[in-house]
């Protein structure tokens, strides 16, 4: 039996039919064709599926889509504006905060949540915020630098690039 839900995804209202077993990540990827949100573990351990739901980061691989009815969803595809990279995306690019890129969308969305709550995080605060996101390639050093870059830019400061 399908339920009708309404989600505002990246600023666009969408009316969707979902079943109780449908997870938000699957609805985003399969029904909405927003494949930037990745499925890495299906157990909420890796963080590749993080999206923003009503302004908070959520691991979408464990959230029933029906539970998001009426919510505003922001995916990695919604970060850029008019073809301009968001400072978070720019930071990951400039500071080489990705290698294979699989974890990157979740890292970016977790970063968005962190910087909304704390615009000037310390390195320790950044590392703590990333505890629920796994990267098997980079060792996190460049990811931390990417977040510091983005934070500076979002505060209106000139980012100091180590690259």
> Could you report the per-residue pLDDT of 85-138, keeping only the tens digit for each?
999 999 999 999 998 999 999 999 999 999 999 999 999 999 999 999 999 887
Q: How many CA atoms lie within 13 A of 52 on its CB side?
A: 24
* 101-125 as b/e: b if 16+ CB within 10 A: ebbbbbbbbbbbbbbeeeeebeeee
Pairing mode of beta strands 3-9, 72-74: parallel
Residue-level pLDDT at 137: 87
Cα–Cα distance, 87 to 158 (Å, whole number): 11
In this model, does residue 163 exceed pLDDT 60? no
**CATH number, domain 87-154:** 1.10.150.120
Enumerate the domain spans of the chain.
Answer: 3-76, 87-154
Which pLDDT score is estimated for 161?
Answer: 74
Contact 10, 73 (CB under 8 A): yes
Q: What is the CATH number of domain 3-76?
A: 3.10.20.30
154 or 161, greater pLDDT: 154
Spatial CA neighbour of 32 closest among 12, 48, 47, 46: 12
Alpha-carbon distance 131 to 8, whole Å? 28
Helices (H), 17-122: 24-26, 87-94, 104-117
Q: Residue 4 burial by CB count (10 A; 0-12/13-18/19+): exposed, middle or buried? A: exposed
């Amino acid at each position: 039996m399908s339920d009708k839900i309404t989600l505002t995804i990246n600023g666009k209202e969408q009316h969707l039919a979902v079943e109780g077993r449908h997870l938000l990540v699957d609805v985003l990827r399969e029904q909405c064709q927003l494949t930037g949100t990745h499925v890495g573990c299906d157990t909420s351990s890796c963080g590749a599926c993080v999206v923003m739901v009503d302004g908070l980061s959520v691991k979408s691989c464990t959230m029933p889509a029906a539970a998001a009815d009426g919510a505003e969803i922001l995916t990695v595809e919604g970060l850029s504006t008019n073809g301009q990279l968001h400072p978070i995306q720019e930071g990951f690019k400039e500071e080489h905060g990705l290698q294979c890129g699989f974890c990157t969308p979740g890292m970016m969305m977790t970063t968005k949540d962190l910087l909304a709550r704390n615009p000037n995080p310390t390195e320790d605060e950044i590392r703590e915020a990333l505890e629920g996101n796994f990267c098997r390639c980079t060792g996190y050093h460049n990811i931390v630098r990417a977040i510091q870059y983005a934070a500076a830019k979002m505060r209106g400061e000139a980012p100091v690039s180590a690259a």
